[in-house]
Amino acid sequence: MATCDDIRTDLVAYVDGELDAAARVAVEGHVASCAACRRELALLRATGDLLAGLAAPAPAARFEERVRERLAKEAAREREGAREPIRLPAPGRLRRAFLAVAAAAAILAGGTTVYLTLSGRLGRDGRGTPGELPGEGGIARYGAGDEALEEEAIAKLDILENLDLVEDLELLESYEALEDPLQGLDLEGRG
Amino acid sequence: MPAPRATPADDAQALMLAFQAGEEAAFDRLVAATKADVVALAYRYGLDAARADDLAQETFIRVYKSRATYRPDARFRAWLLRIATNLVISEARARKRARLVPLDAGPGGEDDEAAAGQGHEDARAEPPEARLEREELAKAIEAAIQELPETQRAALILNRFHDQSYEEVGAALGMSLEAVKSLLFRARQNLKDRLARYVRPDADGF
């Protein structure tokens, strides 16, 4: 016979109908003879039921039009950007390019260590004076010759991970938006 | 065994495939068919109605741009909710880092109240006491959800409010089935404790 500890963490999955047959039988067998677990099961089930009545607002009027407007605005901005000769990284370099951009964003987001290290580099490279935050211009000028910056960014990966920027890498990579490396990083432009 | 019936999710999948194949108008129909789901998800994370709308629009912009990466073997709704979840979590983290107002601490303006009430078409027919009680309960539940640790909250919202199976929640959050099971168990326990005064179990567990 399964003990309380054996089946306890299965109780919610049981209520949700997510257990396989064997685990389900184990829960039912135990609960039939254990009043405490029976009560726990009832409470967990009732808690789930409580959530059912929660309402959410309906989408605003003209929702679809607003999506279209924003898409048009972005397309216009991209056309605007295309007139300037910005060298974009080749597809194979996308991952490393993202890391470099993420490093720059991390700096903006307060990654002091990265900032101190990279600001020296940026100064030496003539991309800004030491102590100056590399802004969008610096990032937009990112091109094929910045191996050292990339390597440094990759070396700081652990810091970037702490800043949660790399977690979205897979998702971001799948976006065409990455053709413009700045676009996927618009994390705080809204609200 | 009953024949599988066509659900709105199937429709959305078909629309996505049509859009992917180049039928531009299918995108608008897709947005119309699924927008409420995405707005509700953002709202569940504590965004007010206006910001929930904004985030949902951003989600569809991502859908539009990454249409080429959608694979028909992935359920469209799971894919959509995953994009929305990633966006809302990214925004929440960016806010936390920037030490801005937390998502759930915005002033509860009249817009919020009005918006929150929209889901209840029969609200006016209710006796005032019952309505007050329901509103108090809704506030308590929403507060309890916001207090959950981030991953518990994400798993709970996907599973409980958007009918995503444990497997789909795992895919969305990059977690094993066991991890999802444990996460949802802890989330439910936390809610049970925080909402203890409202929880009224039936006499029997099952």
As a whole number, mean pLDDT of residues B88-112 equals 63
Measured distance CA(B181)–CA(B166) in Å, rounded: 7
Would an 8 Å CB–CB cutoff place A47 in contact with chain B?
Answer: yes
Chain A, 121 to 160: residues with Cβ < 8 Å from chain B are none
Neighbours of A122 (CB within 10 A): 22
- What three-state secondary structure class fits B13? helix
Task: Check whether A21 has a pLDDT greater than 60.
Answer: yes
Q: How many CB atoms lie within 10 A of CB A5?
A: 7
Q: What is the mean pLDDT of residues A2-8?
A: 90
- Assess whether pLDDT exceeds 70 at residue A94: no
What is the mean predicted confidence (pLDDT) over A133-157? 47
Residue B22 has pLDDT above 70, yes or no: yes
C-alpha B27/C-alpha B12 separation (Å) is 10
pLDDT value, residue B30: 96
Least confident of A38-47, A156-165, B58-67: A156-165
Of the listed ranges A16-25, A46-55, A109-118, B46-55, the one predicted with least confidence: A109-118
How far apart are the C-alpha atoms of A1 and B65, rounded to whole Å? 54
Q: Give this complex's ipTM.
A: 0.77
Look at residue B37 and tell me whether its pLDDT is greater than 80.
yes
3-state helix, strand and coil shares in percent for chain B, rounded to the nearest 5: 70, 0, 30
Q: Tell me, yes or no, if B33 comes closer than 8 A to chain A by beta carbon.
A: no
User: Nearest-CA neighbor of A187 among A160, A156, A165, A158?
Assistant: A165
Return the closest-CA partner of residue B154 out of B44, B60, B63. Answer: B44
Mean pLDDT of chain B: 84
Q: Which of B41, B54, B55, B57 to mutate to test the interface with A (most CBs of A within 10 A)?
A: B57
Residue B91 · residue B52 · CB < 8 Å: no
pLDDT of residue B130: 84
How far is it, in rounded angstroms, from Cα A122 to Cα A112? 15
Predicted pLDDT of residue B107? 44
Give chain A positions within 8 Å (CB) of B83: 171
Please check whether residue B181 is in contact with residue A10, taking contact to mean a CB–CB distance below 8 angstroms. Answer: yes
Q: What is the pLDDT of residue A156?
A: 54
Taking the CA of residue A107 as centre, how many other CA atoms within 13 Å lie in the half-sphere pointing to its CB?
24
pLDDT, average across residues A161-169: 48
Q: From residue A105, how far is each of A87, A95, A184 by CA, in Å?
A: 19, 15, 11
Would the pLDDT of A165 be above 50? no
When the pLDDT of each residue in chain A is averaged and rounded to a whole number, the result is 68
How sure is the predictor about A55, in pLDDT bands with cuts at 50, 70 and 90? confident
What integer pLDDT is reported at residue A53 of this predicted model?
Answer: 78
- Report which residue type is found at A65: E
Judged by a CB distance cut-off of 8 A, whether residue A174 touches chain B is: yes
Mutation test of the interface with chain A: which of B188, B191, B193, B200, choosing the one with the most A Cβ atoms within 10 A?
B188
Rounded-to-integer distance, Cα A39 and Cα A26, Å: 17
Using an 8 Å CB-CB cutoff, list chain A residues near B52.
56-57
- Reduced to 3 states, what is the DSSP secondary structure of residue A188? coil
Using CA atoms, how far apart are residues B82 and B71, in angstroms rounded to an integer? 14
